């Protein structure tokens, strides 16, 4: 397994090749990538980076996972009991509104 430090050196060298971008460049394109707003050539460059970079692949997968987990956790929340005081307060306030 290549340790991150060595990988970073390799990436620095890879950046000299055409179509190669750094992880930081990848980060700057990511919103447009996820929103499907990139032209095909930029999309190709991003996909190429994802193929060679495990860190960005893992990052994107974990990013999507945290979105899915958040959505799931919020959807599973149980409906709260509406406090009777709140119901009374709302009804009282609307009665006041009528008398105005």
Partner 1 sequence: MGVIKLIDTYVKYGSPVDDQINIVADLIAGKKGAFEGIIRQYGARLLLKATQMLGNAPDAEECVQECYLQVHRNISSFRGEANLYSWMYRILVNACLKKMKARAVNNSTSIESLLPDFDENNCRIEPNWPSIPSAEEILRRNHTKRQVLAAIHSLPDSYRDILYLRDIEGYNTAEVAQMFSLSEGAIKVRLHRARSALKKILEPVFLEGLEQ
Using the rule CB under 8 A, is 61 a contact of partner 1? yes
Burial of 21 (0-12, 13-18, 19+ CB in 10 A): buried
Q: Which of 2, 8, 47, 48 binds partner 1 (CB under 8 A)?
A: 8
Using the rule CB under 5 A, is 56 a contact of Zn ion? yes
Could you tell me if 41 and 15 are in contact, meaning their C-beta atoms sit under 8 angstroms apart?
no
User: 2 touches which of Zn ion, partner 1, none (CB within 5 to 8 A by kind)?
Assistant: none
Please enumerate in sequence order all residues whose Cβ is within 8 A of that of 43, keeping only pairs 6 or more positions apart, or say none: 33
Q: How many CB atoms lie within 10 A of CB 60?
A: 17
Interface positions with partner 1 (CB under 8 A): 4, 7-9, 11-12, 22-27, 30-31, 34-35, 53, 55-56, 58-59, 61-63, 65-74, 76-77, 79-83, 86-87, 89-91, 93-94, 97-98
């Amino acid at each position: 397994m290549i340790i991150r430090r060595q990988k970073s050196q390799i990436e620095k060298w890879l950046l000299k090749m055409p179509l190669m971008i750094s992880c930081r460049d990848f980060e700057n394109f990511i919103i447009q990538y996820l929103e499907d707003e990139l032209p095909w050539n930029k999309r190709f460059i991003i996909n190429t980076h994802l193929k060679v970079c495990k860190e960005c692949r893992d990052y994107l997968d974990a990013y999507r996972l945290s979105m899915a987990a958040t959505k799931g956790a919020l959807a599973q929340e149980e409906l709260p009991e509406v406090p009777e005081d709140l119901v009374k307060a709302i009804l009282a306030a609307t009665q006041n509104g009528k008398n105005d």
